[in-house]
């Protein structure tokens, strides 16, 4: 693992590592796409919901407790009744530093406010204000919530619960074509893509606006590509329903004149199982097998033949942890 820190020109930096985590990932059976909407805009039930409804898709709406008017709460209830998640986007939304100083008030209090207001499924999820966080904030939030979504751009290999998620922020500078390329990447890598929107409007004026036309184009594209559009709660159901096994694959060769080869599987410990599939003839050998799942290093296994095959033997392997 390599950590690189590049301070701005003329600036110094101190780096503190608050903790390192390793978790198994639940492999997606295909791309997962989540449409999430920050700030509790009333444009979401009015403009975004009908677009997603066309294909039975649902999204996630995040509320700011201090500015959630009766109209905003009523609109959020409409979304929840339709199967959407309504989640936590902080209390005041006025200063990122306040989140660091007092995560209990800014987030954990809002979690209770959502729960008491009847937003039971969504109160378990936090969409960080401005994507801002520090190690202390994350450490406290992970005690209380299932997912923490940042604004760090990227894709997610569905993790165990209580992990910070990456997203792709979408504003008026982002084209529908760009979002489609993100979806294509999620499809090719079988990843979870979380799209982060704010207001959905006829005409984009504010920085974080996105147009009804663009959203319609992207939602239609999801349907064309036959990808799964999921809420956070649906993602939890997916993770819970999987075996939570991590599978790695690769290929190897036993060279002519040899009867074995060591393969690096990439896990941190001995795999539970390893499967070998020859992709060439065995030559003069009659059998090939995994003779050791762990050579003693914790990350190498051995594939052997009964005799020198007299030729190179190639094979594919799959290791499961």
Tens-digit pLDDT profile for residues 112-128: 999 999 999 999 999 99
Does 7 reside within a domain? no
The answer to whether residue 15 sits within a structural domain is no
Domain end residue (candidates: 241, 270, 286): 241
In this structure, are 98 and 217 located in the same domain?
Answer: yes
Q: What is the dihedral of CA 232, 127, 204, 216, to 10 degrees?
A: -10
Map tokens 């950590």 to a residue: 3
Last residue in a domain, options 220, 241, 262: 241
Cα–Cα distance for residue pair 113/116, rounded to 1 Å? 5
pLDDT confidence of residue 22: 53
Instruction: Assess if residue 6 is contained within a domain.
Output: no
| 209 and 302, same domain (yes or no) | no
Three-class secondary structure of residue 140 per DSSP: helix
> Can you list the alpha helix ranges (DSSP code H) found in 131-268?
135-141, 176-189, 212-225, 232-241
CA 132 to chain centre: 18
Dist CA 194 CA 182 (whole Å): 10
Are 179 and 168 in contact by the 8 Å Cβ rule? The answer is yes
Q: Is residue 22 part of a domain?
A: no
Lowest-confidence region among 104-108, 218-222, 256-260, 309-313: 104-108
**pLDDT of amino acid 21:** 56
Q: Given this model, what pLDDT does residue 190 score?
A: 84
Are residues 189 and 60 part of one domain? yes
Q: Are 171 and 257 found together in one domain?
A: no
pLDDT at 65: 94
The answer to whether position 8 is within a domain reads no
Report the number of distinct structural domains present in the chain. 2
pLDDT tens for each residue of 126-180:
999 988 877 788 888 888 888 899 888 888 877 555 468 889 999 999 999 999 9
- The mean pLDDT of the chain is 88
In a domain, 257, yes or no: yes
Local confidence band at 12 (pLDDT 50, 70, 90 cut-offs)? confident
- Separation of alpha carbons 250 and 296, rounded Å: 20
CATH number for the domain harbouring residue 221:
3.20.20.370
Identify which has the larger pLDDT, 45 or 14.
45
pLDDT band (50, 70, 90) for residue 27: low
More confident residue, 99 or 103: 103
pLDDT at residue 96 in the model: 66
Last residue of a domain, one of 224, 241, 258: 241
Mean pLDDT in residue range 15-28 = 60
| Residues 142 and 181 occupy one common structural domain | yes
* Same-domain check for residues 124 and 207: yes
**Residue 104 and residue 88 share a domain:** yes
Task: Retrieve residue 202's tokens.
Answer: 């006829």
Structure tokens belonging to residue 149: 């979504």
Q: How far is CA 209 from the centre of its chain?
A: 24
**57/85 same-domain check:** yes
Model pLDDT, residue 313: 96
3-state SS assignment for residue 44: helix
- Give the separation between CA 309 and CA 321, rounded to whole angstroms: 30
Lowest mean pLDDT among 54-63, 180-189, 255-264, 267-276: 267-276
Same domain flag for 279 and 134: no
Whose CA is closest to 125, among 234, 199, 30, 228? 234
Does residue 51 lie within any of the structural domains?
yes
Q: Are 215 and 261 in the same domain?
A: no
Residues 188, 311: one domain? no
In a domain, 101, yes or no: yes
d(CA 311, CA 257): 7
Beta 60-63 vs 85-88: how paired, if at all? parallel
Q: Please give the residue range of the domain that contains residue 309.
A: 247-320
Q: What is the mean pLDDT of residues 233-248?
A: 74
Distances, alpha carbon 253 to alpha carbons 1, 45, 231, 244, 248, in Å:
28, 57, 44, 30, 17
Q: What percent of the chain has pLDDT over 70?
A: 89
pLDDT given at position 269: 73
Give the pLDDT confidence score for residue 275 in this predicted structure: 93
**Beta strands, E only, the chain:** 32-37, 60-63, 85-88, 125-127, 147-153, 163-169, 192-197, 200-201, 210-211, 228-229, 247-254, 260-264, 273-278, 288-292, 300-305, 313-320
Is the same domain home to 91 and 201?
A: yes
């Amino acid at each position: 693992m390599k950590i690189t820190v590049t301070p701005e020109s003329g600036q110094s930096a101190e780096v503190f590592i608050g903790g390192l985590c390793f978790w198994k990932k639940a492999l997606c059976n295909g791309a997962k796409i989540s449409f999430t909407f920050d700030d509790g805009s009333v444009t979401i039930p009015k403009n975004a919901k009908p677009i997603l409804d066309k294909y039975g898709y649902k999204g996630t709406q995040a509320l700011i407790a201090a500015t959630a008017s009766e109209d905003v709460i009523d609109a959020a209830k409409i979304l929840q009744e339709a199967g959407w998640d309504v989640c936590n986007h902080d209390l005041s939304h006025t200063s990122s530093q306040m989140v660091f100083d007092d995560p209990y008030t800014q987030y954990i209090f809002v979690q209770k406010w959502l729960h008491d207001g009847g937003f039971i499924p969504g109160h378990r999820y936090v969409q960080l204000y401005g994507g801002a966080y520090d190690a202390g904030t994350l450490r406290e939030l992970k005690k209380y919530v299932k997912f923490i979504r940042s604004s760090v751009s990227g894709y997610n290999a569905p993790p165990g619960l209580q992990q910070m998620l990456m997203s792709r922020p979408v504003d008026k500078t982002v084209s529908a074509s760009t979002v489609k390329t993100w979806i294509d990447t999620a499809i090719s890598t079988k990843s979870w893509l979380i799209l982060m929107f704010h207001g959905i409007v006829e005409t984009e004026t504010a920085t974080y606006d996105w147009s009804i036309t663009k959203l319609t184009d992207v939602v239609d594209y999801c349907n064309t590509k036959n990808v799964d559009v999921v809420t956070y709660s649906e993602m939890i159901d997916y993770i819970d329903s999987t075996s939570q096994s991590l599978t790695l694959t690769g290929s190897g060769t036993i060279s002519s004149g040899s009867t074995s080869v060591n393969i690096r599987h990439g896990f941190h410990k001995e795999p539970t199982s390893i499967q070998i599939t020859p992709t060439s003839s065995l030559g003069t050998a009659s059998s090939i097998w995994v003779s050791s799942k762990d050579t003693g290093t914790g990350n190498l296994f051995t594939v052997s033949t009964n005799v020198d095959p007299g030729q190179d033997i190639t094979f594919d392997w799959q290791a499961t942890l």
